[in-house]
């Protein structure tokens, strides 16, 4: 009971410090980490947003129009107010392809073509051949929808679903103005893994042990297959624990690998 009380007190103290830092205008971040969140079933999204606001942490959201447990899709009208509020809080946004489209393989020939498989939308689960223009249209569609519902211009970045790419796919995306963002090995926070084998406590301990300055971290706004949800139970202790180790949080807008790209490819 005492341990739980001390943990709760620590969370409250860190939250107070975060608010104080924002109020004083201090923005020094000498050991940054970059928390990114991909879309998911959204059931835990409101609770995750509460944690982020309480802790004063801004993240970069990579959004696709995925199926949700409630509402008409992650980028549908039902969730539009949620995204708009996140924009007002200072979060950043980027494309995750509109229909959450997985790259499968490159095809031989010129021009380059790809085998792709959406996991959302009208062609959910259907594999087909795409050219570069079709892929760029998917990147644009998600980005344009984000701007329409948030009023904020998304970053000229994208994350391929599953992180699955090829050099040719990355080149095609760069040609139409998008740089790809993966994640650090330690930044894979494990919310996609089966909870029977990877408990929340174990995933939290691993992240707190292994994350290093400059790492990009990745989790989701809900994972269908995980029985014991990672979020929001791990999210707040993770933020508190990383801050206790001297880390601070920034969006990808401040990442040294992407700052110049963002400045020169402002869409």
Is residue 8, in this structure, part of any structural domain at all? Answer: no
Is residue 71, in this structure, part of any structural domain at all? Answer: yes
- Note whether 141 and 81 are within 8 A (CB): no
Q: Work out how many domains the chain is built from and give that number.
A: 1
User: What pLDDT score does 266 carry?
Assistant: 80
Angle between helices 167-175 and 132-150 (to 10 degrees): 60
- Note whether 179 and 261 are within 8 A (CB): yes
Structural domain including 86 reads 28-264
- CATH number, domain of 89, equals 3.20.20.370
User: Residue 36, SS3?
Assistant: strand
Q: What is the pLDDT along the chain (267 residues), one digit of tens a residue?
A: 433 443 444 444 444 444 444 433 345 899 999 999 999 999 999 999 999 999 999 999 999 999 999 889 999 999 999 999 999 999 999 999 999 999 999 999 999 999 999 999 999 999 999 999 999 999 999 999 999 999 999 999 999 999 999 999 999 999 999 999 999 999 999 999 999 999 999 999 999 999 999 999 999 999 999 999 999 999 999 999 999 999 999 999 999 999 999 999 986
User: What pLDDT score does 3 carry?
Assistant: 38
Is residue 240, in this structure, part of any structural domain at all? Answer: yes
Is residue 90, in this structure, part of any structural domain at all? Answer: yes
Q: Classify the C-alpha dihedral 48-53-59-60 as positive or negative.
A: positive
CA dihedral 101, 105, 109, 112 (to 10 degrees): 30
- pTM score, whole prediction: 0.90
Residue with tokens 């795409």: 130
User: What pLDDT score does 25 carry?
Assistant: 38
Distance CA 228, CA 233 (A): 10
Is residue 193, in this structure, part of any structural domain at all? Answer: yes
Backbone angles phi, psi at 33, to 5 degrees: -125, 160
Is residue 22, in this structure, part of any structural domain at all? Answer: no
- CA separation (Å) from 195 to 136, 210, 244? 35, 20, 26
Q: Is the peptide bond before 232 cis (omega within 30 degrees of 0)?
A: yes
CA dihedral 255, 258, 264, 266 (to 10 degrees): -80
User: What pLDDT score does 26 carry?
Assistant: 41
- Note whether 132 and 172 are within 8 A (CB): yes
Is residue 5, in this structure, part of any structural domain at all? Answer: no
Helix or strand holding residue 71 (H, E): none
Is residue 79, in this structure, part of any structural domain at all? Answer: yes
């Amino acid at each position: 009971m005492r341990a739980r009380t001390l943990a709760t007190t620590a969370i409250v103290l860190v939250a107070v410090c975060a608010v104080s830092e924002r109020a004083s205008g201090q923005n020094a971040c000498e050991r940054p980490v970059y928390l990114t969140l991909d879309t998911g079933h959204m059931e835990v999204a409101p609770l995750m947003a509460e944690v982020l606001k309480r802790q004063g942490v801004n993240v970069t959201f990579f959004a696709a129009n995925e199926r949700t447990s409630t509402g008409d899709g992650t980028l549908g009208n039902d969730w539009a107010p949620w995204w708009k509020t996140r924009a007002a809080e200072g979060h950043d946004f980027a494309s995750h392809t509109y229909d959450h489209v997985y790259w499968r393989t490159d095809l031989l020939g010129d021009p380059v073509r790809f085998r792709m498989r959406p996991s959302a939308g009208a062609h959910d689960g259907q594999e087909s051949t795409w050219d570069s223009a079709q892929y760029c249209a998917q990147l644009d569609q998600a980005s344009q929808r984000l701007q329409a519902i948030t009023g904020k211009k998304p970053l000229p970045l994208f994350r391929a679903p599953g992180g699955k790419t090829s050099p040719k796919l990355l080149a095609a995306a760069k040609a139409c103005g998008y740089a790809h963002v993966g994640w650090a090995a330690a930044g894979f926070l494990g919310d996609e893994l089966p909870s029977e084998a990877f408990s929340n406590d174990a995933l939290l301990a691993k992240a707190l042990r292994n994350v290093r300055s400059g790492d990009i971290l990745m989790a989701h706004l809900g994972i269908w297959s995980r029985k014991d949800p990672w979020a929001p139970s791990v999210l707040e202790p993770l933020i508190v624990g990383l801050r206790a180790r001297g880390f601070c949080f920034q969006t990808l807008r401040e990442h040294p690998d992407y700052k110049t790209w963002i400045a020169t490819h402002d869409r």
